[in-house]
Chains A and B, each alone.
Chain A
Amino acid sequence: MSANAELIADLEAVVGGAYVLHEPEDLIVYEYDGSVDRGLPAAVVLPASTEEVSGVVRAARRHGAPIVPRGAGTGLSGGAIAHQGGVVAALTRMTRILEVDVDNRFAVVEPGVVNLDLTHAVERHGLYYAPDPSSQKACTIGGNVAENSGGPHCLAYGVTTNHVLGLEVVTADGSVHWLGGRTRESPGYDLRGVVVGSEGTLAIVTKAAVRLLRRPEAVKTLLAVFRELDDASAAVSGVIAAGIVPAAIEMMDELCIRAAEQSVHAGYPTGAGAVLLVEVDGLREAVDEEVDEVERVCLRYRPMEIRTATDPEERERLWAGRKGVLGALGRLAPNYYLVDGTIPRTRLVEVLSRIREISAETGLPIANLLHAGDGNLHPSVLFDERNPDEARTALEIGGRILELCLEVGGVLSGEHGIGLEKQEYFSLMFDDDDMESMAQLKPAFDTGDAFNPGKIFPAGASCVDVFQSAAVARAGAGAWV
């Protein structure tokens, strides 16, 4: 038997033949995630329980094969890609909600549970799971934990790490551990806290105990339309500076508005240069008082129009433009390259205008949609990948925007992670000592570098240009989000 055949036989002994995939046509569909990268695994295995995960890890380790955990494969930084081959462990069969504790407001779920399914499952108790990435209809809790995912409503409620009480994980030796617990505090190092956001490099999450929140009494959405992008940005800074922390503040620029208008006919006035969506929730009185105040702040920045909505359908209409915008960008250009970075909220006006300059200078349009409330930018470079020059320029622009974020005191990623996509930028943010200290963490969980090796940290050369051309070569046609 070849080495690979032996590996496959060992994996099959753990999960059964039907759940080990190794034919070319099966591997091809596991070579991508939501990002630009690709990599063919040697095998894909779909365990159905913690015991099976543990068995899979042991089997793969015996053969020295790297293990790449995978959820729904919606990640945007290449975290689920087997760029070094090895075994993809897809957790999509572990989809049970094991426990819903209404009194103590938590649920224990398997990692393959889809984010929105959890909310649906607890809805009848008036509860919900707060982190709401735009991909929540598809992405898994395991992936959310690994990427510490956020979403529009994380401004007030915090990102994934603020909602995870405990995790059951399988480490590289196949052993099973509970990190944290079902209570708000547990003694010892906060291992749970470092596994969250570790991008599948430390351990495989096999169960998560997550907090559930109660649906608010009232919700109000305010839509403010501005002629100038700068006014909208200034209004965001104004709201934060006024000491208001709404549930969400989202922003879209003129290009996004145009795309959204084409696809969902959101009804924004012509000549609009930016829209802000502000959602406030909580006690009825608090919502009224806060929306009034947000409106007062917005009025200082020459809005063309302000609308508010309370009933769910009307709110849905206001949100429609924002929710549909990412897909709708496809109507403006064949491809878009979405950059994720965070800046201090006081620098919005400046950074957006610098992005505008970059766009003018390079000739590629850049559409800006932002989780503006927490300074999380998603500039999306529009291009046509059939033109290799444009593709290269798009990636270069991505790099320049990230450098810009760092320059004003921001960070490389607000919610999508470093993965493969940004590993060569990592050293722009952290020096060798910082990286060394992070790297030391891995062996404490993952002796032998089994999980997702070669991610996050720069792979040898730290020259950004090298990375860019490599990424262009790596990226397949159309593979740009």
Chain B
Amino acid sequence: MSAAPPSLHAGLDAPEEADLYKCVHCGFCLQACPTYVETGLETESPRGRIALMKAVNEGRIEITPGVVRHWDLCIQCRACEVACPSGVPYGRLIEAAMSQAESRRGQGVAARLLSDLSFKRILPNQRRLTLFAGLLRAYQRSGAQRIVRGSRLLPRRLAELEASLPRVQPRFFRPGGIAAPARGETRARVSLLSGCVMPLVHGPEMSAVVRVLARNGCEVETPKAQVCCGAINSHVGDLETARRLARRNIDAFNTDRIDAIVTASAGCGTRMKEYGHLLRNDPDYAERAEAFGRMVKDVHEVLASLPLDPPRAELRRTVTYQDSCHLANTQGVRSQPRELLKSIPGVRFVELPNASMCCGGGGSYTITERDMSLRVLDSKTAAAAATGADVLATANPGCLMQLEYGVRRAGLSMEVLYVTDLLDEAYRAEDG
């Protein structure tokens, strides 16, 4: 390949050749990809996106806005990784490609400012984020929201966006120290990642997670110095901020005195499990990042492996379950949430056909790629409705918000709940 033109990728975060050329373009990923299934376009498939990365690498095409467009449309659900027989690490590749795109993005000033503001300044800073959530809560509760919606003054896209905003809960979940002592004999000591958005919009649900862990003999602490895991920044290709956050978390969690770092958010879990790769070129952190990653466990993984002390009260619900991409595809956590649900007396569990197909959530994707996100979502809600379940359970906040919106859009009466919510409900019923 001596005469080959030089790669048009640049920098340390470029997709690695060894990863790229594992793809033998067999096409097994196509049907796993939500955007391909919706469009039937090779351009919106994992194989196509990799082909573009290869073409850039081979110097055959520049990273034009057209190229970036196809990468942008990837939800990063990583279902293709599961389908791939050749073991192509797609997640890593698309992140790297996005970072290439990021440095060349010819965005408008306003959009640039907005995304810098939200992704680089608000998200990584819990104080600012809390303030923002407080404002949102005020907007939703003061009646302003009703007035805005009634006025029909917002342009269509903004109105849609506004409609899909999660309802911020009355109580925020605040990290710091021991959140709950173990009930009964201490079976494990865990540190909980409280996350960035989750404690604000789903405070009570976070408390439920803590209660369920404690009920199963876990001492739960939430380190105060922890920050956002960096997943959202990675997705949009801002790996620099992601690395900054990762380093701070590695410093914040004292891994010596605990058995696991627990997350209740799949995207965060995936990000943190892969800190090793993220910081592989950082001599000070590389090794610690690897070790940190190995400590990370999803809450459903932890509960199922304890094993769970099943609730004794009955919950008469018909429940179906939507896999979270970042649990199923990247962490291989598929059976555990289902087992937990089935362990609740009275629950009738029905499998959701194609449950492992993404719901179109994917962090900022719902905002940046609204149309595609909704297409994927509507297919999902229709499938969920067809199961006849009255609860659509999920194990991840991003999915929960997206599915709630989907159910609202479709006008269904189905409830969308965390697996841990249902467990908590059953435990509380048993306590009387």
Contacts and interface: CB of A to CB of B under 8 A. Distances in A.
A/B contact in complex, CB under 8 angstroms? yes
B40 A34 contact: no
Contacts of B45: 29
A47 B131 CA distance: 51
B183 to A, nearest CB: 36
Given A328-B85, A386-B1, A481-B26, A28 B55 contact: yes
A96 to B, nearest CB: 12
Interface in B72-102: 83-87
7 contacts: A21-B43, A29-B51, A92-B40, A93-B40, A137-B83, A138-B29, A330-B24
Contacts of B83: 137
A114 B83 CA distance: 15
Contacts of A114: 31
A90 interface: yes
Contact of A112 (B24, B40, B61, B84): B40
A33 B61 contact: no
Contacts of A74: 26-28
Interface of B: 1, 20-31, 40-43, 45, 47-48, 51-52, 54-55, 58, 60-61, 64, 66-67, 70, 83-87
Contacts of A244: none
Contacts of B27: 33-34, 72-74, 135, 138-139
Nearest to A71: B27
A327 B80 CA distance: 14
Nearest to B45: A29
Contacts of B42: 29-30, 73, 90, 92
Contacts of B84: 327
B25 A32 contact: yes
- A-B pairs with lowest CB-CB distance, top 8: A327-B85, A29-B48, A478-B21, A92-B40, A74-B27, A93-B40, A25-B66, A330-B86
Contacts of A292: none
Contact of A330 (B1, B22, B51, B67): B22
Contacts of A479: 24-25
B327 to A, nearest CB: 21
Contacts of A117: 31
A84 to B, nearest CB: 19
Contact of B40 (A32, A46, A331, A335): A46
B188 to A, nearest CB: 28
A313 interface: no
Contacts, number: 111
Given A138-B31, A478-B24, 16 more contacts: A25-B67, A29-B45, A32-B25, A34-B26, A46-B41, A135-B28, A137-B28, A138-B27, A263-B87, A327-B28, A327-B87, A331-B87, A335-B24, A476-B54, A479-B24, A481-B25
A221 B283 CA distance: 52
Nearest to B29: A138
Interface in A430-481: 476-481
B61 A28 contact: yes
A151 to B, nearest CB: 15
A129 to B, nearest CB: 15
A95 B1 CA distance: 40
B26 A28 contact: no
A26 interface: yes
Contacts of A217: none
Contacts of B21: 334, 477-478
A28 B85 contact: no
Contact of A25 (B28, B41, B43): B43
Contact of B30 (A72, A476, A478): A72
**Most B CB within 10 A of own CB, among A21, A112, A137:** A137
A326 interface: yes
A103 interface: no
Nearest to B64: A25
Contacts of A34: 24-27
Nearest to B22: A330
A275 to B, nearest CB: 18
